[in-house]
Structure 1
């Protein structure tokens, strides 16, 4: 019998788990992107130098290879390409137009608004002049964001119209399509919700949420993501509200069998806002953290879904224990030397270190995830211990740089 072939878009370090899983499941694995030196490619059977955002080029490659499935694991920019190719070739996947909506913030906010789902006041623009005409209609503070970036890149919170120009310039510098949104700031209650989910035939069957950790130290903005910790501190009834909002959205978008990366906020009135429903697994090793927390292997289900295999065994599973994924970051510019870990923390808590830098590399003081040096995963015995570690992380690890 012919070995089934899967095309995996991207070969970065954090995409290695998907490549290894596809091999483990017995599929012939092909990777592509425009970075032949990416470490994931050496785990694949074949590699092609084709950009993951070039839909037509990837479609041409997929047809030539006669693939049976395609995956954009942990990659927002590649998700529309995977959906496009799957749709054109009649392979398992989500509707291309729906994936496009989910990966462009202005389209997504419009969709939420038009379908009666909770949404902050928001509007998309292509120039500062356009936004300046409308800006006084918004209630400050507002967030200015590129429509197509992730990881806090190009996101700026402003308190007056005089700050708009600089914010727009920064947002546009991170936008591939040259668009940004302005949206009113939502004052959240408790931690922001972050995690992954999975639907089977359009039904949300699994979600696992953590508590988003943000910066504000060392001159970074207070909304720059640092990581998450599990278990979620949400009340059970609020978790049900979040799941319900997600199910409405998944149904409205005609999504099928798919992994999602989820960002949501609960405001002071317990209103749930879905900020992001990324049509792909989470980055920063969220699926690996969820496996520690629940025993559920979302990477396995993602590969199986792409190959049209049965995913009906997936069910909701509670979190056991306390777990965190946390950015490896430098607080200063310099030359990377190594990472120092507190001895007790390293022995008792630390589980995995995924570092993308090697000694001698130039590193930058952390301002957004562009400056991340990777991710570590660690555990704690109690929520109190987890909060003590994450609130005082500088006592447990430091990136050592030479100036």
Structure 2
């Protein structure tokens, strides 16, 4: 039986373990958390950090795996590429994957290759940043160069808060580096979604609308993505061409991607983040409902050098979203109250990470999501309205 190495065993990563087993693979899982839920689904588990490249290489060699997947995990993506490259397994170039998951390197690459990108620079210390901050136009975004899920991200409008916001970003950076970049005003919704390249060609993509909670502690972490993207087809095609240009320059191969993209009022495309892995928050499951294309299955096939040539571009049918259940404050979860009509007519799947009576965290990043709802709607208008105004149909009660 062929073996596949899966990096990460959170609740959201269980689908890739289940899918790999369904495809007949022996599943080897690595995660640094000894109590991760994925270990109960995998055939074998190693308590090893997915960012420890040499330790993962050792596991891969010992188990003689045929492929590696960093599903829904930016931090693990470079590890998967590094180990795969060392062992001659299918992967895009390690240097390209590393660049895509390192925000200051990515911004510099975009600027060098004439993509639309905000002015940005990476720093290792507060002192360095203080010397350069006057060259930026406020407001700016400060964020770790190597975190995901919008952890450690903040918007600086008052220079007096520079120290505090840099320290916040550094607290989420493994490399203890942060990036300062000028703020990009978006036209319409920020573009969410996933895609897949076959031998470097973007053969599938499904764009959606990112929704944010502007009243939350971190207004930069999405609380929902709704599909399809509500812009004209010419905008979809323009975004597609810019992604393809990036994939060509980086010599990307076969695999999945997660997108965060902005369009400005002049319809310029800003590739904010192109993650070399499937999206989190059950985005692959949502896009499967919309297109019938199983991105989890194709991510596994790509890693195991299986034929992926049958994947085709499919236009979404219907209106679908995920919604991240979240709390404005930490405490004891007393109840999650959802409007009965929404329960009956809109919720397709519910994936909860907590039970009534559990201690829950305040929502500052994707890792503090209480759970995910997959939802369907009868119209674009209904979907957008509910995702923009979730306070009207869901209430998380915390004491």
TM-score calculated relative to the size of structure 1? 0.97
The match for 2:61 is 63
Q: Tell me the alpha carbon deviations over residues 147-181 of structure 1, each in whole angstroms, 9 at most, x when there is no partner.
A: 11122211111123222111101110111110001
Corresponding residue of 1:326: 323
Partner of 1:181: 179
3-state SS of 1:133 partner: helix
Deviating more after overlay: 97-106 vs 35-44: 35-44
The structural deviation recorded for 1:32 is: 1.1
Q: Name the residue aligned to 1:256.
A: 253
1:38 aligns with 36
Paired residues for 1:203-352 under 5 Å: 203-217=201-215, 219-352=216-349
On the 8 A contact 1:136/1:161 being kept in 2, the answer is no
- Does residue 12 of structure 1 match 2:16? no
Q: For 1:67 and 1:391, how far apart are their aligned partners in 2?
A: 44
Matches within 5 A, 1:26-105: 26-105=24-103
Partners of 2:329 and 2:2 in 1: CA distance: 47
Corresponding pairs, count: 399
Query: Which structure 2 residues correspond to residues 121-160 of structure 1 after superposition, within 5 A?
Result: 121-160=119-158
Work out the CA distance in 2 between the residues paired with 1:392 and 1:204: 34
* 3-state DSSP of counterpart to 1:51: coil
| Displacement of 1:221 | 4.2
Residue among 372, 377, 380 paired with 1:380: 377
Deviation at 1:382, TM superposition (A): 0.6
Task: Report how far residue 208 of structure 1 moved.
Answer: 0.3
In structure 2, C-alpha distance between the alignment counterparts of 1:96 and 1:239, rounded to whole Å: 28
In the TM superposition, what whole-angstrom CA distance separates every residue of 1:229-257 from its partner, at most 9, and x where no partner exists? 11111211111111111011111111100
Given that 1:216 and 1:224 are in contact with CA atoms closer than 8 Å, whether structure 2 keeps it comes out as no
Cα distance in 2 between the residues matched to 1:117 and 1:392: 34
Structure 1's 162 and 11: CA in aligned 2 closer, same or farther, altered over 3 A?
A: same
Deviations 1:61-111 (A, max 9, x none): 111111111110001111111001100000001111111101110111111
Q: CA deviation at 1:146?
A: 0.6
Give the SS at the match of 2:141. strand
Structure 1 pair 131/14, CA: closer, same or farther in 2 (3 Å)? same
- Matching residue of 1:394: 391
1:359, CA displacement in angstroms? 2.9
What CA distance in whole angstroms lies between the structure 2 residues aligned with 1:143 and 1:250? 26
1:360 Cα deviation after fit = 2.8
Contact 2:75 2:148 survives alignment (8 Å): no
Question: What are the superposed Cα offsets for residues 253-308 of structure 1, whole Å, 9 maximum, x if unpaired?
Answer: 11100100011001111110100010100000000000011111000100000000
> What is the distance in 1 between the residues matched to 2:138 and 2:47?
45
SS of residue in 2 equivalent to 1:53: coil
Match of 1:232, SS state, is coil
Deviations 1:343-380 (A, max 9, x none): 11111111111111123321233233232112111111
Distance in 2 of aligned mates of 1:256 and 1:205: 12
- Contact 1:193-1:263 within 8 A present in 2 as well: yes
The residue aligned with 2:193 is: 195
| RMSD between aligned residues | 1.2
CA–CA separation in structure 2 for the residues paired with 1:70 and 1:221: 33
| Counterpart-to-counterpart distance in 2, 1:248 and 1:63 | 35
Q: CA deviation at 1:337?
A: 3.0
Gaps of 5+ in 2: none
Segment drifting more, 7-16 vs 148-157: 148-157
Q: Secondary structure at the match of 2:328?
A: coil
2:360 aligned residue: 363
SS of match in other structure, 2:75: coil
